[in-house]
Amino acid sequence: MRQTLVLNASFEPLSTVSLRRAVVLVMQDKAVIEQEHAGLRIRAANVEMAVPRIIRLCRYVRVPFRQRAPWSRRGVLVRDRHRCAYCGRRATTVDHVLPRSRGGADSWLNTVAACAADNHRKADRTPQEAGMQLLTQPFEPTPADALLLALALGGRDRGREQAPEWLAVPAA
Ligand SMILES: [Zn+2]
Protein backbone atom coordinates (compact mmCIF):
# COMPACT_ATOMS: atom_id res chain seq x y z
CA MET A 1 0.00 0.00 0.00
CA ARG A 2 1.49 3.31 -1.08
CA GLN A 3 1.13 6.08 1.48
CA THR A 4 1.38 9.78 0.85
CA LEU A 5 2.61 12.19 3.49
CA VAL A 6 0.28 15.10 4.15
CA LEU A 7 1.66 18.47 5.25
CA ASN A 8 -0.41 21.22 6.71
CA ALA A 9 -0.54 24.53 4.83
CA SER A 10 2.20 25.56 7.28
CA PHE A 11 4.41 22.68 5.98
CA GLU A 12 4.11 20.81 9.25
CA PRO A 13 3.72 17.05 8.67
CA LEU A 14 0.30 15.85 9.75
CA SER A 15 -0.30 12.29 8.77
CA THR A 16 -0.19 9.84 5.92
CA VAL A 17 -3.12 8.91 3.73
CA SER A 18 -3.59 6.32 1.02
CA LEU A 19 -2.50 7.29 -2.47
CA ARG A 20 -6.11 7.28 -3.65
CA ARG A 21 -7.14 9.72 -0.97
CA ALA A 22 -4.16 11.92 -1.71
CA VAL A 23 -5.13 12.03 -5.39
CA VAL A 24 -8.71 12.92 -4.51
CA LEU A 25 -7.53 15.76 -2.25
CA VAL A 26 -5.39 17.15 -5.07
CA MET A 27 -8.21 16.80 -7.60
CA GLN A 28 -10.58 18.59 -5.25
CA ASP A 29 -8.06 21.44 -4.98
CA LYS A 30 -7.74 20.80 -1.27
CA ALA A 31 -4.06 20.01 -1.56
CA VAL A 32 -1.12 20.55 -3.91
CA ILE A 33 1.68 18.13 -4.73
CA GLU A 34 4.92 19.07 -2.99
CA GLN A 35 6.96 16.08 -4.06
CA GLU A 36 6.23 13.38 -6.59
CA HIS A 37 7.47 9.89 -7.28
CA ALA A 38 9.94 10.45 -10.11
CA GLY A 39 8.82 9.00 -13.38
CA LEU A 40 5.50 7.70 -12.12
CA ARG A 41 2.19 8.90 -13.49
CA ILE A 42 -1.32 8.07 -12.41
CA ARG A 43 -4.53 8.33 -14.37
CA ALA A 44 -7.68 9.20 -12.48
CA ALA A 45 -10.98 10.41 -13.91
CA ASN A 46 -9.48 11.45 -17.27
CA VAL A 47 -6.68 13.37 -15.59
CA GLU A 48 -3.08 12.28 -15.71
CA MET A 49 -0.88 13.46 -12.91
CA ALA A 50 2.31 12.72 -11.08
CA VAL A 51 2.10 10.21 -8.25
CA PRO A 52 2.24 12.32 -5.10
CA ARG A 53 4.77 11.38 -2.45
CA ILE A 54 4.06 14.45 -0.35
CA ILE A 55 1.07 16.77 -0.61
CA ARG A 56 0.39 20.01 1.20
CA LEU A 57 -3.04 21.22 2.22
CA CYS A 58 -4.16 24.50 0.67
CA ARG A 59 -5.85 25.60 3.87
CA TYR A 60 -4.45 25.35 7.35
CA VAL A 61 -6.34 22.83 9.44
CA ARG A 62 -6.22 22.34 13.14
CA VAL A 63 -5.70 18.64 13.64
CA PRO A 64 -5.04 16.93 16.90
CA PHE A 65 -2.15 14.97 15.40
CA ARG A 66 -1.98 11.42 16.66
CA GLN A 67 -4.79 12.20 19.00
CA ARG A 68 -8.34 11.07 18.98
CA ALA A 69 -10.66 12.88 16.65
CA PRO A 70 -13.14 14.90 18.68
CA TRP A 71 -16.59 13.36 18.55
CA SER A 72 -19.37 15.27 16.85
CA ARG A 73 -22.73 14.39 15.34
CA ARG A 74 -21.66 15.67 11.98
CA GLY A 75 -18.42 13.71 12.29
CA VAL A 76 -20.40 10.50 12.82
CA LEU A 77 -22.47 11.19 9.70
CA VAL A 78 -19.29 11.82 7.71
CA ARG A 79 -17.59 8.73 9.14
CA ASP A 80 -20.58 6.56 8.19
CA ARG A 81 -20.95 8.30 4.82
CA HIS A 82 -24.50 9.32 5.66
CA ARG A 83 -25.61 5.70 5.53
CA CYS A 84 -28.01 4.31 8.07
CA ALA A 85 -26.29 1.63 10.18
CA TYR A 86 -29.56 -0.32 10.36
CA CYS A 87 -30.92 -0.25 6.81
CA GLY A 88 -28.21 1.31 4.63
CA ARG A 89 -30.41 4.11 3.35
CA ARG A 90 -29.55 7.78 3.63
CA ALA A 91 -29.02 8.84 7.24
CA THR A 92 -29.65 12.29 8.59
CA THR A 93 -29.62 11.55 12.32
CA VAL A 94 -27.21 10.06 14.83
CA ASP A 95 -28.30 7.12 16.96
CA HIS A 96 -26.81 6.21 20.32
CA VAL A 97 -26.41 2.42 20.30
CA LEU A 98 -26.79 2.39 24.08
CA PRO A 99 -29.33 5.21 24.53
CA ARG A 100 -28.20 8.34 26.29
CA SER A 101 -31.09 8.02 28.70
CA ARG A 102 -29.42 4.85 29.91
CA GLY A 103 -25.93 6.19 30.25
CA GLY A 104 -24.77 5.78 26.65
CA ALA A 105 -21.94 8.15 25.84
CA ASP A 106 -21.44 10.67 23.06
CA SER A 107 -18.56 8.65 21.67
CA TRP A 108 -17.41 7.21 18.37
CA LEU A 109 -17.98 3.66 19.55
CA ASN A 110 -21.49 4.31 20.84
CA THR A 111 -22.93 6.26 17.93
CA VAL A 112 -23.89 5.45 14.37
CA ALA A 113 -25.57 7.28 11.52
CA ALA A 114 -29.25 6.36 11.25
CA CYS A 115 -32.20 7.30 9.10
CA ALA A 116 -34.94 9.17 10.95
CA ALA A 117 -37.36 6.22 10.67
CA ASP A 118 -34.98 3.71 12.25
CA ASN A 119 -33.87 6.17 14.91
CA HIS A 120 -37.52 6.73 15.82
CA ARG A 121 -38.28 3.00 15.74
CA LYS A 122 -35.34 2.11 17.95
CA ALA A 123 -36.16 4.86 20.45
CA ASP A 124 -34.79 4.27 23.96
CA ARG A 125 -33.79 0.67 23.36
CA THR A 126 -30.64 -1.20 22.54
CA PRO A 127 -30.49 -2.76 19.05
CA GLN A 128 -31.06 -6.15 20.67
CA GLU A 129 -34.15 -5.02 22.53
CA ALA A 130 -35.48 -3.39 19.39
CA GLY A 131 -34.73 -6.46 17.27
CA MET A 132 -32.53 -4.37 14.99
CA GLN A 133 -29.13 -5.30 13.68
CA LEU A 134 -26.14 -3.10 13.08
CA LEU A 135 -24.94 -3.60 9.51
CA THR A 136 -21.57 -2.13 10.46
CA GLN A 137 -19.84 -1.66 13.78
CA PRO A 138 -19.03 1.88 14.89
CA PHE A 139 -15.31 2.61 14.96
CA GLU A 140 -12.97 5.28 16.18
CA PRO A 141 -11.37 7.25 13.34
CA THR A 142 -7.64 6.67 12.92
CA PRO A 143 -5.25 9.67 12.88
CA ALA A 144 -5.49 9.67 9.08
CA ASP A 145 -9.29 9.63 9.29
CA ALA A 146 -9.10 12.40 11.87
CA LEU A 147 -7.20 14.55 9.41
CA LEU A 148 -9.72 13.91 6.66
CA LEU A 149 -12.62 14.51 9.05
CA ALA A 150 -11.09 17.83 10.03
CA LEU A 151 -10.80 18.72 6.36
CA ALA A 152 -14.39 17.76 5.67
CA LEU A 153 -15.76 19.57 8.69
CA GLY A 154 -13.63 22.62 7.94
CA GLY A 155 -15.77 23.35 4.89
CA ARG A 156 -18.71 24.39 7.00
CA ASP A 157 -18.39 28.07 6.15
CA ARG A 158 -18.56 27.30 2.47
CA GLY A 159 -22.16 26.27 2.67
CA ARG A 160 -23.67 22.85 2.59
CA GLU A 161 -21.32 20.36 1.04
CA GLN A 162 -22.26 16.90 -0.03
CA ALA A 163 -20.76 13.98 1.81
CA PRO A 164 -17.09 14.41 1.00
CA GLU A 165 -16.01 12.20 -1.86
CA TRP A 166 -12.83 11.10 -0.16
CA LEU A 167 -14.85 8.96 2.18
CA ALA A 168 -16.40 7.16 -0.77
CA VAL A 169 -12.96 6.22 -2.02
CA PRO A 170 -11.92 2.82 -0.72
CA ALA A 171 -8.48 2.73 0.83
CA ALA A 172 -5.88 1.87 -1.79
ZN1 LIG B 1 -32.46 3.16 8.43
Q: What are the chain's domains?
A: 3-65 (no CATH), 73-130 (1.10.30.50)
- The string of pLDDT tens digits covering residues 118-149 is 999 999 999 999 999 999 889 988 777 777 77
91 against 45, higher pLDDT: 91
How far is ligand 1, taken at its centre, from the CA of residue 165, in Å?
A: 21
What is the DSSP secondary structure assignment for residue 167, as one 8-state letter?
G
- The pLDDT value recorded for residue 56 is 94
- The pLDDT value recorded for residue 63 is 63
- The pLDDT value recorded for residue 131 is 96
- The pLDDT value recorded for residue 38 is 83
| C-alpha–C-alpha distance, residues 53 and 51, integer Å | 6
How far is ligand 1, taken at its centre, from the CA of residue 157, in Å?
A: 29
How far is ligand 1, taken at its centre, from the CA of residue 154, in Å?
A: 27
Phi first, then psi: give them for residue 165, nearest 5 degrees.
-65, -30
pTM, two decimals, is 0.60
How far is ligand 1, taken at its centre, from the CA of residue 91, in Å?
A: 7
| C-alpha–C-alpha distance, residues 53 and 110, integer Å | 36
How far is ligand 1, taken at its centre, from the CA of residue 122, in Å?
A: 10
HSE value, Cβ hemisphere, 13 Å, CA-based, for 155: 17
Res. 154: pLDDT tops 70: no
- The string of pLDDT tens digits covering residues 21-70 is 899 899 889 999 999 988 888 887 777 888 899 999 998 887 654 556 77
When pLDDT is cut at 50, 70 and 90, the band that residue 158 belongs to is very low
How far is ligand 1, taken at its centre, from the CA of residue 82, in Å?
A: 10
How far is ligand 1, taken at its centre, from the CA of residue 159, in Å?
A: 26
How far is ligand 1, taken at its centre, from the CA of residue 54, in Å?
A: 39
How are beta strands 13-18 and 47-57 bridged, if at all? Answer: unpaired
